[in-house]
Amino acid sequence: MPELPEVQTVVDDLKKAGLVGRVVHSVGVHWPRSVATPAVQRFRKGLRGAKIGGISRRGKFIVMDLAANGWLLIHLRMSGHLHLVPRRWPRATHEHVVIRFDDATDLRFHDPRKFGRLFWVADPGEILSKLGPEPLSRAFTGRRLAGMLAHHRRQLKPLLLDQRFIAGLGNIYVDEALWASRLHPETRSHEIDGDAARRLHRAIRRVLRSGLGNGGTSLSRGETTFTSVNGRAGRNRDALAVFRRTGQPCLRCRTPIERIIVGQRSTHICRHCQKE
Ligand SMILES: [Zn+2]
């Protein structure tokens, strides 16, 4: 599932491709449930004539400012991809939403697993206001994270995955950040001292920046693998220390990496470096 670095990569690639300034000619919806809100007819009609004024990211959402025409939010979830292609290209399998622009190009939402969602809203706060802080923002300090952790009594792994706690983290970068900060994923958040919280804070930012610098993490060739606009793969896989490295030696101590389940999520740890 795309996380902060992958979603930011998509946003950057859409900007580079010149999406800002394009005007929507028409919208085709071929799998109605890809549109979360409003009803499909209103969605199609509402977007028609809208100009893409800006593209940004909040958490794992792609946020398009349509100026006077509201906001288009896209959540890629498990297998959503965006392709920017010439209109004359035939629609491929799994291209569930087609946003057609005035300049004869299409933005196509490709989503084999069908969990991704598009939202057309007047106020993006309707969707985004529930999200926790941006982990790369200046306001997100080590001290702030320490305070946030102290307010909860949850295991670190599910807490860090909770988008209301911090926005943008998912399974890959949480496992990487916990390994980097030598914290066990089942540790209760209120038991973390200030030093460990600052370590975790630094690790979260470091693993996210690595992902960003490498254009995201693409794991295998499966349909849920992340690719950015037009199928471009990320290069961060080689930078991963634990995620999907089960049985391979820990980069610090050579202990084989183990895969355990925490909060129903597959989790990768070094038992030696990350003590309970
Ligand atoms: Zn180790």
Catalytic hit among 182, 232, 259, 265:
265
Query: How much of the chain, in percent, has pLDDT values that exceed 70?
Result: 100
Ligand 1 centroid to residue 253 C-alpha, Å:
4
Whether 265 sits among the annotated catalytic residues: the reply is yes
- pLDDT above 90: residue 171: yes
Q: Confidence band (pLDDT; 50, 70, 90) for 74?
A: very high
Instruction: Return the closest-CA partner of residue 112 out of 225, 235, 5, 32.
Output: 225
Q: Are 227 and 219 in contact (CB under 8 A)?
A: no
The architecture in CATH of the region 4-128 reads: Alpha-Beta Barrel (3.20)
Alpha-carbon distances of 115 from 33, 36, 74, 239, 266, rounded to whole Å? 9, 10, 11, 28, 19
The architecture in CATH of the region 142-213+245-269 reads: Orthogonal Bundle (1.10)
Alpha-carbon distances of 239 from 16, 123, 222, 234, 236, rounded to whole Å? 25, 38, 20, 11, 5
Whether 3 sits among the annotated catalytic residues: the reply is yes
Mean pLDDT of 224-248: 95
- pLDDT above 90: residue 27: yes
Mean pLDDT of 249-276: 97
Whether 271 sits among the annotated catalytic residues: the reply is no
Ligand 1 centroid to residue 154 C-alpha, Å:
24
pLDDT tens-digit series, residues 187-231: 999 999 999 999 999 999 999 999 999 999 999 878 889 999 989
Amino acid 223: pLDDT: 83
Ligand 1 centroid to residue 235 C-alpha, Å:
24
Catalytic hit among 58, 60, 108, 157:
60
Instruction: Return the closest-CA partner of residue 195 out of 142, 141, 140, 255.
Output: 142
Amino acid 190: pLDDT: 97
Query: Given this chain, do its domains 4-128 and 142-213+245-269 carry the same CATH topology?
Result: no
Mean pLDDT of 24-49: 98
Amino acid 222: pLDDT: 81
Ligand 1 centroid to residue 273 C-alpha, Å:
4
Q: Are 211 and 7 in contact (CB under 8 A)?
A: no
The residue ranges of every structural domain in the chain are: 4-128, 142-213+245-269
Ligand 1 centroid to residue 272 C-alpha, Å:
5
- pLDDT above 80: residue 66: yes
Amino acid 229: pLDDT: 95
pLDDT tens-digit series, residues 85-111: 999 999 999 999 999 999 999 999 999
pTM: 0.97
Where are any strands of DSSP class E within the chain?
A: 24-29, 35-37, 54-58, 61-65, 71-75, 81-86, 95-101, 105-110, 117-121, 258-262, 265-269
Whether 2 sits among the annotated catalytic residues: the reply is yes
Instruction: Return the closest-CA partner of residue 228 out of 214, 240, 241.
Output: 214
